[in-house]
Amino acid sequence: MHNKSGWTATGVGVWLAICSGCAGYDTPVSGPLWDDAASSDASSDVATDTAKVGHDVAVFTPGAPIAADDKKWQYVEVPGTYCRDGKTTGFAINANPKSDKLVIFLEGGGACFNDLTCAVNPMHYDYSPGIGAASLQRDGVNPFADWSFVYIPYCTGDVFSGTAMEGHNGEPQVGYTNIGKFLERIVPTFQGKLSTVVLTGVSAGGFGVAWNWLRVQDAFGPTVAVHALDDSGPPMSGKYLTPCMQQRLSALWGWQDSLHPACTACDLTAGNVVQPLIDVALQRQVGRRFGLLSHDEDSIIKFFYSFGLDNCAAIDEVIFPPEFATGLFPEGLSDLRAHLAGKTNAAVFETHGQAHVVVGSPGGWSASVGGTTALQWFTWFRDGDPKWVDFAP
């Protein structure tokens, strides 16, 4: 049976179940704080000079490095960062001193932009044992198994794009600001030790990857190749992620202070931001890759995008919004693939189904399109293999 909005009771239950748990893919282990007595001299070598980089860059000021234990998860709380409940948050590191490569993983957990969506969005973060993200496992399967890892939790509801100390209901939505403070510690910790960074994330973290890709590159400097891998955060055009929706998020989350300065084509007033931002990133990141994974009828992203339908008529209603029509989301993915066509540093892995997140836990490696698995596609992405191309039903 359908309610007025067209969403089935089963669909509502699935959404509530998934969204209430989608921040729980990966929770870092407890452990001793890092030895902050390590010398901070190396931080002075971090490239922050605009003239050196040769592009408009995001402002970045390096802080003190962290002495991390060898291949052990350790958590650090970072003063001046905030969850939606106003409490301090942090990040976790698992460093491999023998590797010159780093994965930075952004957690998922939905978005908070009205009473309905905020009700099931994580507003606090407590670290606890175990990190389940497939790309952060030291096993015999993960293509990044011998890399260093950084895990960034999610508790701001702004897909890591927010700078607003008074977001929804006056709560801090400062995910973008938090990442900046994390980078102040992460970058000096690995300064002079890295050749490659992969910025990746799922769901809200996937959107955060696209939003933060350029600023992470700016922070590490031009000699470190920063690639981006976005699982289930598709930067669709305004036909699907509508202008009124982008206007709402911009005003609520403070995009005027997080939009990368290189995106001169981004128009906050007109609500044309998300796709122009990935366009300028791909143009600037020559030789650095952007990969997107998505299910072709992802029920969760369809739900969030549906608030933008009918000119955002239901965005403040305590009811479910109009239903995203079957076929409209795969049309949006097809439109996105066509938009990215010809860009040799971008590829899409689109698999069939309504599930949300393709490779959240290690079981996701087996997801396949035409006999090619996500694991193979990730490996080709890692290696810059010519076989790393679009795969779709």
> What DSSP element (H or E) covers 350?
strand 346-351
Number of domains in the chain: 1
pLDDT, position 61: 81
**Joined tokens for residue 258:** 């997080």
pLDDT, position 128: 74
pLDDT, position 307: 95
Taking the alpha carbons at both ends of the chain, their separation in whole angstroms is: 30
Q: Which domain does 298 fall in, by range?
A: 9-383
Q: Is residue 393 part of a domain?
A: no
Neighbours of 257 (CB within 10 A): 12
pLDDT, position 67: 86
Q: What is the CATH number of the domain that holds 13?
A: 3.40.50
The CA distance from 195 to 71, in Å, is 19
Q: Is residue 389 part of a domain?
A: no
Q: Is residue 388 part of a domain?
A: no
pLDDT, position 14: 39
The CA distance from 209 to 199, in Å, is 6
**Joined tokens for residue 369:** 């399109």
Q: Is residue 3 part of a domain?
A: no
pLDDT, position 50: 30
Determine phi and psi for 8, rounding to 5 degrees.
-75, 155
The CA distance from 129 to 84, in Å, is 22
> What DSSP element (H or E) covers 20?
helix 9-21
Neighbours of 116 (CB within 10 A): 18
The CA distance from 104 to 201, in Å, is 8
Q: Is residue 122 part of a domain?
A: yes
Q: Is residue 146 part of a domain?
A: yes
Q: Is 90 helix (H, G, I), strand (E, B) or coil?
A: strand
Residues of the chain under the 50 pLDDT cut:
1-18, 20-21, 23-54
Contact 233, 333 (CB under 8 A): no
pLDDT, position 129: 62
Q: Is residue 391 part of a domain?
A: no
Q: Is residue 244 part of a domain?
A: yes
